Amino acid sequence: MDVIRAPSSSGEASAVDGCDAVGFESRLLRKSETIGTEAHALMERLYPLCRSLTGDGVRETLQLLKEIIPLKIHEVRTGTRAYDWVVPNEWNVRDAYVLDGRGQRVIDFRVSNLHVAGYSAPVDEKMSRTKLLEHLFSEPDHPDWVPYRHFYYKDGWGFCVSHRQLSELKEPEYRVRIDAQLDPGSLTYGELFLPGREPGEILISTHTCHPSLCNDNLSGVVTTAMLAREIADSPKRFGVRFLFVPATLGPIVWLSRNEQIVPHIRGGLVVAGVGDPGPFTYIQSRRGATQIDRAVAHVFKHATSTPAAIRDFAPVGYDQRQYCSPGFDLPMGCLMRTPNGEYPEYHTSADNLQFVTAAALGDSWRLMRLVLEILEENRTFLNLSPKGEPRLGPRGLFAEAQPLGIFWILSFSDGHHNLLDIAERAQMPFWRLREGARRLEECGLITEVNTRVVEQNV
Amino acid sequence: MDVIRAPSSSGEASAVDGCDAVGFESRLLRKSETIGTEAHALMERLYPLCRSLTGDGVRETLQLLKEIIPLKIHEVRTGTRAYDWVVPNEWNVRDAYVLDGRGQRVIDFRVSNLHVAGYSAPVDEKMSRTKLLEHLFSEPDHPDWVPYRHFYYKDGWGFCVSHRQLSELKEPEYRVRIDAQLDPGSLTYGELFLPGREPGEILISTHTCHPSLCNDNLSGVVTTAMLAREIADSPKRFGVRFLFVPATLGPIVWLSRNEQIVPHIRGGLVVAGVGDPGPFTYIQSRRGATQIDRAVAHVFKHATSTPAAIRDFAPVGYDQRQYCSPGFDLPMGCLMRTPNGEYPEYHTSADNLQFVTAAALGDSWRLMRLVLEILEENRTFLNLSPKGEPRLGPRGLFAEAQPLGIFWILSFSDGHHNLLDIAERAQMPFWRLREGARRLEECGLITEVNTRVVEQNV
Amino acid sequence: MDVIRAPSSSGEASAVDGCDAVGFESRLLRKSETIGTEAHALMERLYPLCRSLTGDGVRETLQLLKEIIPLKIHEVRTGTRAYDWVVPNEWNVRDAYVLDGRGQRVIDFRVSNLHVAGYSAPVDEKMSRTKLLEHLFSEPDHPDWVPYRHFYYKDGWGFCVSHRQLSELKEPEYRVRIDAQLDPGSLTYGELFLPGREPGEILISTHTCHPSLCNDNLSGVVTTAMLAREIADSPKRFGVRFLFVPATLGPIVWLSRNEQIVPHIRGGLVVAGVGDPGPFTYIQSRRGATQIDRAVAHVFKHATSTPAAIRDFAPVGYDQRQYCSPGFDLPMGCLMRTPNGEYPEYHTSADNLQFVTAAALGDSWRLMRLVLEILEENRTFLNLSPKGEPRLGPRGLFAEAQPLGIFWILSFSDGHHNLLDIAERAQMPFWRLREGARRLEECGLITEVNTRVVEQNV
């Protein structure tokens, strides 16, 4: 039992290039600053596009992402059934405006795509001010902000305006035009699968259906894209799948078309609203205490400077609702900063390029990267010298034993504790213990065990 | 798996008539006020009767209850064995007094039945003041109150008097008479079983052996009787059994004669001391965390305005000691307001008709009713559209989804969570979710599963 | 099921002589005062001996202990393999000093054996002050204290001096002599096994390798010896094994030579640093929540006047590291007062006979005795009258039912709760319930069940 073995799999590269443990953290911190800036620049290009549940704005968004990641773009035809749902008509707007008596555009889609409520039916008529007002949405509490509204799964049309704009509409009659198409077409989503060495995959999903709103959810789109780019070329243990889908219907459509993949999903994240400067919030998976829940809690504890909040699952909020629905019950949680609906800028024109910062995007990316590191590298080892402590001095491990948690790894590598279990008990960062495990594996003191047999946390 | 089915059992009436969820709470609140007044009036009629472990006072009490509920009255003969116990002689008092030199009754059973210690042996002699004093009980700390004492399972006799009364006994000799009978007879208890549709029953037990004391335990007797009357005629899922028994020996006798029923008891309450104005107290069952324990905690959380206390089981207190003894280990707890022994009026003449209020009785009744509602209606459902969220709009459920916890029911109706589990996780009142489940069942989105297979909380 | 049986095993003597429950506590308190004084006197005799990992100082220490307990002394030859370790050469010092120009001993082994670093190689040469200083260890923060250092498993030599002493070394050259032997010999340890009636044993281990240091660890040595003496002659349920071994290597050597005993160890304590006046600290076993962990927590709660601390297992500290290594994973914790390294006197000459008090030693002994009482007497019983409460009055148990927890024992003696489980739930001292169980067993209300079948806590 206490035979000294030669290093085995330790030569394999991990998802992270290089790996001295302490350096890993500071290198990642530096890299996150660069990436935050790149992510914000990407967001500036995506911002003007008129996204919705379907339509060309989504296609253009995904095409732009294809410049940096090899996304596969899927089109799902109108009328396709997906469980209790049906893919609706596709919606596109060419132009939309309200003209006053002098032919001036007093409401103009070209100024902001938020001005037209999503899925508005085409309109082309003169109408009284009174009738027009029935179709206008404004937010009196924030008179300069334009709200975001839509007519998903119901008939209707509307314009969204600032309350100031609304109060200036004093003429008796207006010319109203929404040059929109609402016809059979398709729902568009993007997918990127990066394969791993071992069976099983990790799912990162983000929604693409909101128009010119930055935090909700260009922040999720750009950080997810940056994460995919970062790890695209490095060897991975488990596959990683990235989905860029419209909210609610997107996951339902994807799940209905990929049921055979569901059993292989080891866990993952819905990423949404990660660009505002607020502290992090994580919504646990329905099951709670799954590996993804513990990984996020671990990263929050060891890698955030401001207090981060963890909330229990609730069947509200973003797309974790679909992935966690009882027919799937996937171990997926939702990473946000300030939760949806809890910041005043939410679903208004104030959720803009200034509201979202490069620093927040970069830091969100860093946390996603650390969570992924845990999901990828949470291995289970067996101490090959389990009776008493082995001597570390002769193996050159004495000096780094403490910072790399080497005694903890030796003590708990009994085949029943994975590295995250040990990191939690030791109250040490996972990535330090991962490096400690690498050293111990190199000198033959531990060996990886078949996690398929022993793991219980996924 | 996501087939839409027609409503099945939802048409069946529940134990509660009518059931729009929010209205249920306010209707019950109003009804509880009326019932509190009725309960207090009933207590006024029961108050003068001289109850004890056995005897005619108990018989008269049960006869009076028969006016409102179809109670079956049992007589168990003196000498009958019940496990480690034996039914003792029956005790009845015709009259009792102490006469002074002028033949005046200075202590008089006719003034209060508390004046004679329970199970006092017959006495008829002249005796010195000194000897008499050895047989008198008073409470110096409350000089106007008469204490309650008895000689169960031991020989003796005594009078209970106020300390003021005692201090006025200055004559050298007194004539002492207790015209009591302590002869073979029987122990009397009342029982009412209301059958249910499904196997299994709920047990509500209250003790009847205390003489003119209101909180301990006419309060339990009258609220239990009112609860039985309230539900007597409505269809029920599980049977409900009501026991009006002397404390300690009563449950032991009942259990010894009904062992075949014990396995069918799903849980229940011992009701005692529920008429004082103090906040509620619940003593958990021996096992703890059983359905009754969780039901009471839920009702305390969602339906009491003043903070209510939950205490761990301890083998002291009221009759839960017998139902929870290790040979039975029933999931039964004890509902009280201020616990026995923790209010100064306890076991004294000050526990009278003024100490117990109609409002307290009515509110106790309301809580018992809500607890019973949970025990009756805690069903387990299966979401028939479990992959992603089903669309609520087309089914007319959208507006009430939030107040009725519809998303919670859908998310957790996986066959492993009953409505109480879901109500706890959602932090919503059980009765709202029960209504939500009714709506979902009506439109075929959920179906009840055989609880006998999946439930684990009883 | 409710048959009344005659007393069975209750006549057997327990490890404790006499046993009225309340008296037990106060008798033990008085005895601990005497034992503290004896323990300190024993420590005074052991203090001057030059102990190390091996050598004659250890032999003399164990010989001295043989005066009070029938210790068996083992010699394990240099070169013997023990898992990843090898027994090193034996080390003995005859004399050691540094002479100044006048031939005066400016550092003198005869003054304190701490002056020579353990396992120093022999030296005999004149050398410059500069070179000598490279071999001197002092502690500038405490200029009057001599630190403790050693050269285990590495080559070298050194003297330990007070910083004041070091600063007075001003001559250019010194004569340095360490008359030590570092040659093949053996590692010496002591063992005492006291057999029990039932299979299984309890292990108490303490380290013997430190020179003239009192708290670390003559305190462990003398309290363990006193405990062994106390229980040597009384009949025991389980065997008790005492080990007096050098730290780290000692347990590893013992384990490697006694693997067949390991499965029989029900739990135990590493005793170290129990003589300082600080409050108690207990380091839990690796598994945590084992019987020893619960026993110590119980004793801390019910038998210490100052707040005692319980810490989670960590793979650092004393010899529990070896006993808890994953190849053995024994339920053993570590009893200390102020933890090693957390008091300034630690590993210096200030850890002397004044630092350790008789009162602290006596109180540590008392706690060890109580913990042992729980490990020995934690039996599981079955209530033979489990349906309802049995009558206590006719059995003469009524008066003591409350102080001896008799209702608790009856309520939870269902074969699934041992006395410690019940004591924890009742929040009563274990030794009271042990006495209550004895009374109940005497009158046939409970009977012991085969713990080998039902116990789950070891």
Residue C6, pLDDT > 80, answer no
Answer whether B316 touches C (CB < 8 Å). yes
Averaged confidence pLDDT in chain C? 93
> Mean pLDDT across the stretch B304-317?
95
**Neighbour tally for A81: CB within 10 Å:** 10
Cβ contact C219:C364 at 8 Å = yes
How many residue contacts between A and C have a Cβ separation below 8 Å? 65
Amino acid B288: pLDDT: 95
% of chain A residues with pLDDT over 70: 93
Answer whether A307 touches C (CB < 8 Å). no
Amino acid B450: pLDDT: 77
Q: What digits encode the pLDDT tens for the residues A399-409?
A: 899 999 999 99
A323 class by beta-carbon count within 10 Å (0-12 exposed, 13-18 middle, 19+ buried): buried
At C433, give phi and psi (nearest 5°): -65, -35
A354 class by beta-carbon count within 10 Å (0-12 exposed, 13-18 middle, 19+ buried): exposed
Interchain proximity B326–C413, CB inside 8 Å? yes
Cβ contact B44:B353 at 8 Å = yes
> Mean pLDDT across the stretch A385-389?
97
Residue B301: which pLDDT band, with cuts at 50, 70 and 90? very high
> Mean pLDDT across the stretch B96-112?
97
Amino acid B315: pLDDT: 96
Amino acid A11: pLDDT: 32
Which positions in chain C touch B255 (Cβ < 8 Å)?
387-388
Cβ contact B281:B311 at 8 Å = yes
Compute the nearest-CA separation of A250 from chain B (Å). 11
Interchain proximity C388–B329, CB inside 8 Å? no
Interchain proximity B388–A84, CB inside 8 Å? yes
A99-108, C16-25, C192-201: segment of lowest average pLDDT: C16-25
% of chain B residues with pLDDT over 90: 91
Query: B 50-79 residues with CB below 8 A of A?
Result: none
Smallest Cβ distance to B327: which of C387, C391, C408? Answer: C387
> Mean pLDDT across the stretch B159-165?
98
Q: Which chains share 3+ C-beta pairs under 8 angstroms with C? A: A, B
Amino acid B356: pLDDT: 98
Query: What type of residue sits at position B186?
Result: S
Amino acid B20: pLDDT: 56
Closest CA to C257 of C186, C159, C315: C186
DSSP structure class, residue B337: S
Answer whether A393 touches C (CB < 8 Å). yes
Interchain proximity B1–A327, CB inside 8 Å? yes
Q: What digits encode the pLDDT tens for the residues C51-95?
A: 999 999 999 999 999 999 999 999 999 999 999 999 999 999 999
Q: Where are the beta strands (DSSP E) in B129-276?
A: 136-137, 159-160, 173-183, 186-194, 201-207, 239-245, 265-271
How many CA atoms does the CB half-sphere of C446 hold within 13 Å?
A: 33
DSSP structure class, residue A116: B
Amino acid A19: pLDDT: 43
Compute the nearest-CA separation of A409 from chain C (Å). 9
Residue A24: which pLDDT band, with cuts at 50, 70 and 90? confident
Residue found by looking up tokens 């001005």 in the block: A115
Paired sense of beta strands C265-271 and C332-336, if any: parallel
**Beta-carbon contacts of residue B257 (< 8 Å; ≥ 6 apart):** B76, B82
Answer whether B385 touches A (CB < 8 Å). yes
DSSP A170-200: -SSEEEEEEEEEEES-EEEEEEEEE--SSS-
Cβ contact B327:B263 at 8 Å = no
Distance CA C366, CA C254 (A): 27
Amino acid A293: pLDDT: 98
Q: Which chains share 3+ C-beta pairs under 8 angstroms with B? A: A, C
Higher per-residue confidence, C8 vs A385: A385
Smallest Cβ distance to B315: which of C391, C393, C408? Answer: C408
Which positions in chain C touch A411 (Cβ < 8 Å)?
286, 315, 321, 324-326
C212: alpha, beta or left? (left if phi > 0; alpha if psi -120 to 50): beta
Which positions in chain A touch B410 (Cβ < 8 Å)?
315, 325-326
DSSP structure class, residue A65: H
**pTM, entire model:** 0.91
Interchain proximity C315–A411, CB inside 8 Å? yes
Residue B12, pLDDT > 90, answer no
> Mean pLDDT across the stretch C337-360?
98
Interchain proximity C84–A425, CB inside 8 Å? no
Q: Which chains share 3+ C-beta pairs under 8 angstroms with A? A: B, C
Residue A10, pLDDT > 50, answer no
Distance CA C167, CA C85 (A): 39
Averaged confidence pLDDT in chain A? 93
Answer whether C181 touches A (CB < 8 Å). no
Answer whether C277 touches B (CB < 8 Å). no
Residue C11, pLDDT > 50, answer no
β-partners of residue B73 are B190
Interchain proximity B411–A324, CB inside 8 Å? yes
Distance CA C40, CA B118 (A): 63
Distance CA B203, CA A350 (A): 60
Answer whether C270 touches A (CB < 8 Å). no
Closest CA to C209 of C89, C55, C44: C55
Distance CA B59, CA B187 (A): 9
Interchain proximity A326–B412, CB inside 8 Å? yes
Amino acid A211: pLDDT: 97
Amino acid A452: pLDDT: 52
Paired sense of beta strands B81-82 and B85-86, if any: antiparallel
Query: C 409-428 residues with CB below 8 A of B?
Result: 410-414, 425-426
Which positions in chain B touch C383 (Cβ < 8 Å)?
326-327
Residue C302, pLDDT > 60, answer yes
Q: Where are the beta strands (DSSP E) in C264-305?
A: 265-271, 281-283
Query: A 340-359 residues with CB below 8 A of B?
Result: none
- Return the ∠ at Cα C369 (arms to C367 and C372), rounded to 5°: 110
Distance CA B420, CA B223 (A): 25
Interchain proximity A411–C325, CB inside 8 Å? yes
* Chain A interface test: which of B384, B389, B413 (most A C-beta within 10 Å): B389
Q: What digits encode the pLDDT tens for the residues B185-200?
A: 999 999 999 999 999 9
Closest CA to A152 of B114, C37, B398: B398
B11-25, C117-131, C319-333: segment of lowest average pLDDT: B11-25
Residue A16: which pLDDT band, with cuts at 50, 70 and 90? very low
Which positions in chain C touch B84 (Cβ < 8 Å)?
2, 385, 388-391
Output Rg (C-alpha) for chain B, integer angstroms.
25
Residue C359: which pLDDT band, with cuts at 50, 70 and 90? very high
Amino acid B15: pLDDT: 35
ω before A217 within 30° of 0 (cis)? yes
> Mean pLDDT across the stretch B45-58?
98
Count the residues in chain C. Answer: 458
Answer whether A312 touches B (CB < 8 Å). yes
Compute the nearest-CA separation of A446 from chain C (Å). 12
Distance CA C440, CA B114 (A): 36
